[in-house]
Amino acid sequence: MDGEAKPIFLAPMAGVTDLAYRILARECGADVTVTEFTAASGLTRRNTYSWLKVETDPREEPFIPQIFGGITEEMVQTVEMLQDRADVIDINFGCPAPKVCRNDAGAALLRDPDRVVDMVRKCIAVARVPITVKMRLGTGSGPNTALEICKRLESEGVERICVHGRTLKQRYSGIADWSQIREIAHSVQIPVIANGDVVDAKTAEACLEATGADGLMIGRGAIGRPTIFYEIKRDLGWETGEPPWGIDDDSVARHWCWNRYLYLCEDLYGGIRNKNLKRHAVSFTKGLSGASSMRVELHREADQAILGQMVSDYLADLSTPKNHA
């Protein structure tokens, strides 16, 4: 590895990467953020919740909505509907969730490279913005198809590909196969972003060395821990400035991030209920002293303002000097 800074992406994650969390991640050092993956069927039918998932803010630029679906015509229509507000549109062929794959979408489509290529070709044909793709190595039933698909998608005009080093069948088990990402990265000229098992600076450096990728995408490692982007850049020498939370202390950083997330929610959503707040509350407190008993109270609390303050008070107590002795 030559030490050159590479872009770090926040992965699209359902129930996690709402707009407030994406802006928070950007403030914590993420170079690129992507929306929660959103069904083309919901967007084309003007479902209100689906459209809320593809809201953005000038602080997020570039704005990249990610869409998925199994019906090519719906995907094409969705590209046409989104492109006036999007800087880039990303297509998901990586989700392993059964409810998605049962509808012949997400990673299930990797079993049929011709269908993937046809869908992307038709989306590119109507697009006035770049089209990118996120995928897995294959379905895990039969030979992996990612290498073939990536080569063909490059020829069709896809501008960037992110590859998660697992198959649909693996979901999130086992170890990401970085060697197959490397084979893809060395076989195409467009940027390849590596995804899978990057949780700190050590694994970030190892992944870049193993794959030769043009950047990293972090998913589960960033849940409840948006500071991971700053930490990686700091530890690899890519960032020398102070973090937005001031002193370089994990508990102080976590408290600052939670309060900042609450502020961003109020700023962006006003009085609209945040469906993801409780999930974020659990993630921000996971593994901390006394958190298990507090989470019982969180699950009982219906008032979001009270819930937010409960977590803030808990994290503030952990960040006081007596807890650092």
Residue where a domain terminates, one of 181, 201, 235: 235
Quick: pLDDT tens for 28-76.
Answer: 999 999 999 999 999 999 998 899 999 999 999 999 999 999 999 999 9
The answer to the question of residue 102 being in a domain is yes
Q: Is 95 a catalytic residue?
A: yes
> Is 202 in the same domain as 271?
no
pLDDT of residue 323: 52
The per-residue pLDDT for range 278-297, each reduced to its tens digit, is 999 999 999 898 888 888 88
> What integer pLDDT is reported at residue 294 of this predicted model?
84
Q: Are residues 214 and 271 in the same domain?
A: no
Alpha helical stretches, state H, the chain: 19-27, 40-44, 48-52, 72-82, 98-101, 113-126, 146-156, 178-185, 201-211, 228-235, 250-269, 277-285, 291-300, 304-318
Q: What is the number of structural domains in the chain? A: 2
Question: Residue 46 domain-assigned?
Answer: yes
pLDDT in tens, 124-137: 999 999 999 999 99
Query: For residues 6 and 170, what is the distance between their CA atoms, to the nearest angstrom?
Result: 27
At which of 186, 212, 235 does a domain end?
235
- How buried is residue 177: exposed, middle or buried, by Cβ count under 10 Å (0-12/13-18/19+)? buried
Q: What is the pLDDT of residues 143-189, one digit of tens each?
A: 999 999 999 999 999 999 999 999 999 999 999 999 999 999 999 99
Residues 19 and 153 in one domain: yes
Assign residue 114 a region (left: φ > 0; alpha: ψ between -120 and 50; beta: otherwise). alpha
CATH code assigned at 163 = 3.20.20.70
CB 256 within 8 A of CB 286: no
Q: Are residues 98 and 49 in the same domain?
A: yes
CA distances from 253 to 12, 58, 284 (A): 23, 24, 11
What integer is the mean pLDDT of 10-24?
Answer: 96
Interval 259-266 mean pLDDT? 96
Position 103 scores a pLDDT of 86
In the chain, % of residues over pLDDT 70? 98
Residue 257 reports pLDDT greater than 90: yes
Within the chain, what is the greatest distance between any pair of CA atoms? 61
**Look-up of token digits 């897995």:** 136
- pLDDT, position 248: 81
- Asked whether 233 and 29 are in contact (CB, 8 A), the reply is yes
Residue 198 lies in a domain: yes
Query: Is residue 316 pLDDT above 80, yes or no?
Result: yes
Residue 202 inside a domain? The answer is yes
Q: Do 216 and 9 meet the contact criterion of CB atoms below 8 Å apart? A: yes
205 and 313: one domain?
A: no
CA proximity to 275, closest of 122, 69, 50: 50
Identify whether residues 313 and 171 lie together within a single domain: no
Residue 245 lies in a domain: no
Give the C-alpha distances (Å, rounded to integers) separating 211 from 33, 187, 206, 256. 21, 12, 8, 34
Judgement on whether residues 95 and 133 belong to the same structural domain of the protein: yes
In this predicted structure, what is the pLDDT of residue 110?
A: 96
At 196-253, the pLDDT tens digits run: 999 999 999 999 999 999 999 999 999 999 999 999 999 999 988 999 999 888 999 9
13 and 92 together in one domain: yes
- Based on the fold, state whether residues 207 and 314 are members of the same structural domain: no
Is residue 242 a part of any domain in this protein?
no
Q: 43-70: b or e for each residue (b if 16 or more CB lie within 10 Å)?
A: bbeeeeebeebbebeeebeebbbbbbbb
Q: Is residue 210 in a domain?
A: yes
Residues 261 and 196 in one domain: no
* Contacts for 144 with CB less than 8 Å, ≥ 6 apart: 137, 138, 167, 180
Mean residue pLDDT across the chain? 94
Q: Kindly state the average pLDDT of the residues 7-22.
A: 96
- Shared domain for 145 and 270, answered yes or no, is no
Asked whether residue 175 is assigned to any structural domain, the reply reads yes
Catalytic site residue from 95, 150, 207, 257: 95
| pLDDT for 1 | 45
Residue 150 shares a structural domain with residue 89: yes
Structural domain harbouring 47: 8-235
**Tokens coding 255:** 């408290």
Q: At what angle do helices 178-185 and 201-211 cross, to 10 degrees?
A: 50
Indicate the residue among 175, 207, 235 that finishes a domain: 235
pLDDT at residue 325 tops 50: no
